[in-house]
Amino acid sequence: MPVEFKDYYAILGVPRTATDQEIKKAFRSLARKYHPDVAKDKTTGEEKFKEINEAYEVLGNPENRKKYDELGANWNQRFQPPPEGAAGRAWRGSGDGERYEFHFDGTGFSDFFEQFFGRSGRFGGFERPGTEAGAERGVAIRGQDIESDILVTLEEALKGGVRVLSLQRTDPRTGESTTQTLRVRIPAGVRDGQAIRVAGMGGAGIGGAASGDLFLRVRLAAHPDFQVRGSDLYYTLDLAPWEAVLGTKAIVPTLAGRISVTVPAGSDNGQQLRIRRHGLPTGEAGQHGDLYVVINVRLPDQITDKERELWKQLSEISGFNPRTT
């Protein structure tokens, strides 16, 4: 099956010379616009959000970006299919010519991404005789397992959900394909890298043995506001210098809505405010991680002459010296 090249720079709207900070800024801006919770057109927004996340998975990771830049737009002229058992969606098999291509729709990732940047797609198991030879010898061998990535949003990780996927098996010798529709349950509290098992959806068994399983390896979608560490979420709150010094109230987002937090007077840069039970489920019944609001004191990019004079007056009357305290 032909694989379509993805121009991730065009998707994020940045030049190939963009800095890491420019890529991150572009992603956050687009992700906020097309997030399924806020997009005016939910269907279009969801698809665009997945596309933006895929682009950021590659360009936001230095190793992936280097690999992508080395491929170039003429990748298909230089590409050689990976060896049997390597990651991706090339032709796969289970020994002695019993070979199939497995294609997934609904995982949130394109074939191009899976081919070059998927961390799964491998078969488990071992070499085995072909179906006919195995049957003649009365050998019963369980079918091989298959894997693919699945993009899961933080909102899905918070509440759980059901994802509808299609799994297509194609025999390259005959061109015959079969497609199955799967309803996959995403458990609340699922972690990045966790495997969701779909029993019996792998390679066919031999001699009456059971089929292998399908394992969907979770990739948590990057979020424009939150960083994830285990079941805890981290949100960076930008403050003006006087807000950090005098204290203030600020509205911050959570996965369940926006809340007001009190920033105490004298809050320092990097200080964390803990909001209990506003993180992701921990896996224990009813338990959640926490949300940490990280203080980030910012200085104005430009100031007026009057503001400059006020800062100068403050410097003259203040006894604060950061190098001696």
- Tokens representing 135 are 């049957």
- Domains of the chain (ranges; CATH) run 1-79 (1.10.287.110), 86-221 (2.60.260.20), 226-300 (2.60.260.20)
- 207-255 pLDDT, tens digit per residue, is 889 989 999 999 999 999 999 999 999 999 999 999 999 999 999 999 9
For residue 62, the SS3 value is helix
268: left (phi over 0), alpha (psi -120 to 50) or beta: beta
What DSSP string describes 18-48? --HHHHHHHHHHHHHHH-TTT-SSHHHHHHH
Q: Please give the Cα distance from 215 to 84 (Å, whole number).
A: 18
Enumerate residues 6+ apart whose C-beta is below 8 A from 233: 154, 226, 227, 254, 255, 278, 279, 280, 289, 290, 291, 292
Task: Identify the bridge partners of residue 297 per DSSP, sorted by sequence position.
Answer: 239
The size of the chain, in residues, is 325
- Name residue, tokens 């939150």: 226
pTM of the model: 0.82
Rounded to 10 deg, the angle between the 62-71 and 42-59 helix axes is: 90
For residue 96, the SS3 value is coil
**Buried (b) or exposed (e) across 43-55, using 16+ Cβ within 10 A?**
eebbebbbbbbbb
Per-residue confidence in pLDDT tens, the chain, 325 aa: 567 889 999 999 999 999 999 999 999 999 999 987 777 777 788 899 999 999 999 999 999 999 999 887 665 554 444 444 433 343 343 433 345 677 888 999 998 898 888 864 444 433 344 444 455 556 788 888 989 999 999 999 999 999 999 998 887 778 888 899 999 999 999 999 999 999 999 888 888 899 899 999 999 999 999 999 999 999 999 999 999 999 999 999 999 999 999 999 999 999 999 999 999 999 777 899 999 999 999 999 999 999 999 999 999 999 999 888 6
- Name residue, tokens 């098992």: 197
Q: Phi and psi dihedrals of 62, rounded to 5?
A: -55, -40
